[in-house]
Amino acid sequence: MRTPRVLIVEDSPEMADLLAISLQTDNIESDTAGEGKRALELAQAKVPDLVLLDLGLPDMDGLDVLAALKANPALKHIPVIVITGRERTEDKLRAFNLGAVDYVNKPFNFLEVQARIIATLKRKSAADDAEQAVAQERQRTHEEMLRISRAVDAAGDAIAILNPEGHVTYVNEAYADFFGLGAPDLGVSERHRRLFQRPELWDEIWRTCEEGGAWRGELEMRASGERLAPTLCRADAIRDERRAFLGVVLIFTDITQRKRLEEDLLYLANHDPLTGLHNRRFFLEVLQSAVDKAQRGAHSFLLYLDLDNFKVVNNSIDHQAGDRLLVDIARTLRDQLRPGDELARLGGDEFTMLLNGADEAAATQFARLLVQLFDGYRFKEGGKAFCCTASIGLSRIDGEVTAEDALSHADSACYYVKTHGRNGHEVFRPDNQAIAQLSTEAGWSIRIKDALRDRRMEMWLQPILPLRADGRAYFEALVRLRDPDGKIIMPGQFLSAAENFGNMQQIDQFALYESMNLLAAHPQLSLSINLSARTLNNANLPVIVERLLSASNIAPDRVLFEITETAMIQNLAHARQLVTAIKQLGCRFALDDFGAGASSMLYLRDLPVDVLKIDGSFIRSVDVDPINRALVKSINEIAHILGKQTVAEYVVNAGVLQVLKTIGVDYVQGWHVCEPAPPEHFFKLGLENVTLPKA
């Protein structure tokens, strides 16, 4: 028996390796391709039995790869299972319309995917056997076909052979099981015709085959047990060597399970699996429809609800209790829905409602009712009762703002409530500056997520140059966001939003991985990498850093991490422990913006950092402000006494640079020293040629 072969098209080498290993346990061979073009080349050179296809490929969209496979006559019959992180319904529907047999969302259960692959290979094997049998039948007489038909008795598909007069002369066991009828029961073509839910289709199939063609299509058949079964039907004319018409061979594949899977996928694509409510993706479609209606005069209101004390339940008991609370909250909200309204869970403890046709008075009255309802709500678990109030933001759907903006406005109004006492509601109004600022930041949060997803977040470098002859230059890694139109956006415009809306950890992760890639590719490079307070609270950070250094064989002394004074003192004991653990690997630490905090000198002696970056507010005017000059000199002297190096940021002109040289600061950084630029600029120039400007 031939060993089946699977082509794995996946841009993640780790995921491809895991899939290949899981297939080996079932004696299934595999080839891997990380790009679409390579996948098409491999499929052409060595036709696989099945393709596992990721949609997010670096050189072309996976759906285009699927279309190319199906457009190739030699490859179009290969079954394709899509394995991807995309959750858009349109992607799933397009994949199935193009010919995919299955669609699996990441992350997935490897055992489940294994079972699906094996089942698909078995179906293909059975179909191949049946098709091969049909090809053989075309080359023989009708009597030869009847003799050879025993070879397909064990095929999983239902197979029938009809003679030129339309009499059913042979059916296999699968056919008898599927329809509950054998050849003697069927007799002439008319009786066979009645098995079709639309009998006129049988006339079309027979006519097509008589004229020398073949028929393929999905239809409903009257299967045994009086059920209507969705079925894939294939019909081919049987002809002898002289092309004389000898009859028709029919192959029926029960696709009930596939149809159920499609329905399940559509359900999962539109619903939250925990609560059964609609999810964010579906709700945004509904919201867009409401915006379109509002442009025609049918206004509505959007309600954004966030639970105030959800984390108390999660932290006091466990996540299972938190899940039970969310299910109970969903049930409570569903009971309050008005006819025609929509309810969704966006994620976590956030819920949205679309109040169709509601004006502001009705919407605020409804929000007030919910606030009162949750004010008296008690969740009982483990012998304890928990209060779980709600903060609610509302925004008007008037057709003048997009669906995303309306959601952002309601979210901002909700956030405003949470920062002003919670357990209340607020309507978004553009003239409320506090809410408007939150709305702007919420919009930036979405743009940050999109940029990270679309690989439009970039890493730039700025030199940190020594003032002493024995010093060694290094570079600070700085993030930049590139808009879809190509415009570079400075971090000052989006970092505040990232901190307020929880995007800093993703930005830090991007910076850390990109920096490690640069260090691995350029052995002469040393980098300073910024870490936010949220990342500094990640207890797994030392393990992550160690693995990254080890994986790329990067010398730890080439890495310096920058943390702000504010981030350090938020949880001084934890930060000190984490910094110490990473320093033990051989990396160094710098304290950024030093001097801006009120208590800098109080704890400086105990901080396990190697470098002090003196806050730029002191440096900018050090050449003209004697007080700032004295402060910088004091900080520099104390740092040296403690065995720490100093870096002066924001060196804006030659006068500032000269004063810093006189004071004895170790390193300087700023636009007068050298402007930030993409890494390629410095590599092309040569790292050794990045030097201080001439006096």
- How far apart CA 664 and CA 614 sit, in angstroms, is 13
Domain ranges of the chain: 5-108, 127-260, 283-429, 447-687
Name which of 278-292, 351-365, 415-429, 642-656 the model is least confident about: 415-429
- How far apart CA 50 and CA 79 sit, in angstroms, is 5
- How far apart CA 584 and CA 438 sit, in angstroms, is 41
Contact criterion met (CB below 8 Å) for 527 and 519: yes
Residue at token pair 């439009």: 456
Q: What is the pLDDT of residue 399?
A: 82
Q: Nearest Cα to 611, choosing from 472, 480, 515?
A: 472
- Interval 652-664 mean pLDDT: 94
User: Distances in Å between the alpha carbon of 474 and those of 51, 327, 556, 608?
Assistant: 47, 53, 14, 21
Task: Indicate whether 639 pLDDT > 70.
Answer: yes
| Options 3.40.50.2300, 3.30.1950.10, 1.10.3720.10, 3.30.70.1230; CATH of 5-108 | 3.40.50.2300
Contact criterion met (CB below 8 Å) for 518 and 679: yes
Q: What is the pLDDT of residue 69?
A: 92
- Interval 304-331 mean pLDDT: 82
pTM assigned to the model:
0.48
CB atoms within 10 A of CB 227: 10
Q: What is the pLDDT of residue 222?
A: 86
Determine the residue type at 279.
Answer: N
pLDDT band per the 50, 70, 90 thresholds, residue 392: very high
What pLDDT, in 10s, does the model give residues 53-67? 998 899 999 999 999
CB atoms within 10 A of CB 545: 21
Query: Residue 306 belongs to what H/E stretch?
Result: strand 300-307
Q: What's 439-500 look like in SS3?
A: HHHHHHHHHHHHHHHCCCEEEEEEEEEECCCCCCCEEEEEEEEECCCCCEECHHHCHHHHHH
Task: Indicate whether 136 pLDDT > 80.
Answer: no
Q: What is the pLDDT of residue 684?
A: 92
Q: What is the pLDDT of residue 627?
A: 93
Q: What is the pLDDT of residue 558?
A: 95
Contacts of 612 (CB under 8 A, 6+ apart): 590, 591, 594, 604, 635, 639, 644, 645, 646, 647
For the residues of 633-694, what is the DSSP string, one character each?
Answer: HHHHHHHHHTT-EEEE----SHHHHHHHHHHT-SEE-STTT---B-HHHHHHH-GGG--PPP
Query: Residue 263 belongs to what H/E stretch?
Result: helix 256-270
For 398-401, the CB contacts below 8 A with 24+ separation are: 398/294, 398/299, 399/291, 399/292, 399/293, 399/294, 399/295, 399/296, 399/297, 399/299, 401/291
Task: Indicate whether 690 pLDDT > 80.
Answer: yes
Is 571 buried (19+), middle (13-18) or exposed (0-12) by CB count in 10 A? middle
- Looking at CATH, the fold of the domain delimited by 283-429 is given as Alpha-Beta Plaits (3.30.70)
Q: Nearest Cα to 519, choosing from 472, 494, 567, 552?
A: 552
Q: What is the pLDDT of residue 435?
A: 67
Q: What's 609-650 look like in SS3?
A: CCEEEECHHHHCCCCCCHHHHHHHHHHHHHHHHCCCEEEECC
What pLDDT, in 10s, does the model give residues 578-631? 889 999 999 999 988 887 654 556 667 777 889 999 988 899 999 999 999 999
Per CATH, the architecture of 127-260 is what?
2-Layer Sandwich (3.30)
Contacts of 495 (CB under 8 A, 6+ apart): 504, 507
Beta strand 300-307 with 342-347 is unpaired
Task: Indicate whether 149 pLDDT > 60.
Answer: no
CB-based burial, 626-635: b 16+ in 10 Å, e otherwise = eebbebbbeb
With both helix axes pointing from N to C terminus, report the angle between 62-71 and 36-45 in degrees, rounded to the nearest 10: 30
Read off the DSSP letter of residue 338. P
Residue at token pair 């208590």: 599
46 vs 421, residue with greater confidence: 46
- Interval 488-517 mean pLDDT: 86
Q: Which tokens belong to 306?
A: 């966030």
> pLDDT exceeding 90 applies to what percent of the chain?
37
For domain 447-687, the CATH superfamily is EAL domain (3.20.20.450)
- How far apart CA 386 and CA 328 sit, in angstroms, is 13
Query: Residue 64 belongs to what H/E stretch?
Result: helix 62-71
The whole-chain average pLDDT of the chain stands at 85
Task: Indicate whether 662 pLDDT > 70.
Answer: yes
Name which of 34-43, 49-58, 77-86, 170-179 the model is least confident about: 170-179
CB atoms within 10 A of CB 519: 23
DSSP bridge partners of 53 = 9, 82
- Interval 326-345 mean pLDDT: 91
Q: What is the pLDDT of residue 598?
A: 46
